[in-house]
Amino acid sequence: MPSVPFDEAVPLLMEEFRWNEWFLETYWPENAPRMELIARLALAHSPRPENSRLLEVGCANGYAAALFRLLGFQVAAADAYDDRRREELFLRLGIPYTTTSLNDPEPLSQYPDASFDCVLLGEVFEHILNNPLGLLKALNRILKPGGQLVLTTPNPSTIANCIRVLQDNYVLWGSRDFARMSKFDGSRIIDEGGIHYCEYPMRVTCDLMREAGFTIGLQRYVAPGCARTQSPLKRLLKRLLMVTRLDRRRLLSPGYLVEGFKSEH
């Protein structure tokens, strides 16, 4: 598949998801800045994407894998559940998919050592119950020497979370479900995408990545975009934060990105 620039890939991606109004009107506008930053980092690391193998771990509906395929990468994807529409999308774009549990004792064991130039772990780390550090070590194993990991996850160290604690309210997304559902099916840990089991401050995530064998590159708090489905007041507040760049500060940003590199040796 011939590669196209990011600005040309996005309309093609929107066409693929024209059936999903929520994705087009809400999810993508809010997450476009994060995805543009991830794409910029991946392309800086792999300026000839057609020669680079990229794995998206926790691909959900497949939009990010599809985007990077349109950008020219050789893309593979993995997640814990099957999805008919995603299967059709991946078939059209030539993206091989593997069903796998990231809570396995040896996650991603289906992939050989040094298989990929780049791995994306976008909004997944907070959902891992069994062994988050073990997953990071598995990602390091399957990367080639010098390979790149781009990880994004929610930022718990915010004023909003402080207010929730002061209000004696839930802090983690999915807390009600966490208290009510079993985490095991026999001896198997259930993958549950609707629960944040733990949200890590950026400093902690960087420490875990170093322990897993990564050298840390870019660290950045990431501001969300605006969606027309949001209230006018929320859109106004977001724009004010964007103009002042306060949305890139720890206390006000809902998420962050950390880039890691596997040792060349």
- Among 21, 45, 159, 61, which residue's Cα sits nearest to residue 53? 45
- Burial label, 223 (beta-carbon count in 10 A; 0-12, 13-18, 19+): buried
Dihedral Cα 77, 81, 84, 89, nearest 10 deg:
-10
| 6-262 maps to CATH 3.40.50.720 | no
C-alpha 265/C-alpha 261 separation (Å) is: 12
pLDDT per residue, tens digit, the chain (265 aa), is 668 999 999 999 999 999 999 999 999 999 999 999 999 999 999 999 999 999 999 999 999 999 999 999 999 999 999 999 999 999 999 999 999 999 999 999 999 999 999 999 999 999 999 999 999 999 999 999 999 999 999 999 999 999 999 999 989 999 989 989 999 988 888 888 889 999 999 999 999 999 999 999 999 999 888 998 999 888 888 888 888 888 889 999 999 999 999 998 7
Q: Which two tokens stand for residue 14?
A: 């929107």
Nearest to 105 by CA among 140, 123, 129, 141: 129
* Rounded distance between C-alpha atoms, residue 173 and residue 265, angstroms: 39
How far is CA 169 from each of CA 155, 160, 161, 166, rounded to the nearest angstrom?
A: 17, 11, 9, 8
Q: How far apart are CA 47 and CA 41, in angstroms?
A: 10
Task: Indicate the domain borders of the chain.
Answer: 6-262
Q: Look at residue 1 in the predicted model and tell me its pLDDT.
A: 67
The beta strands (E) that lie in the chain are given as 53-57, 74-79, 97-99, 116-122, 143-154, 184-185, 188-189, 214-222, 255-262
State pTM to two decimals: 0.95
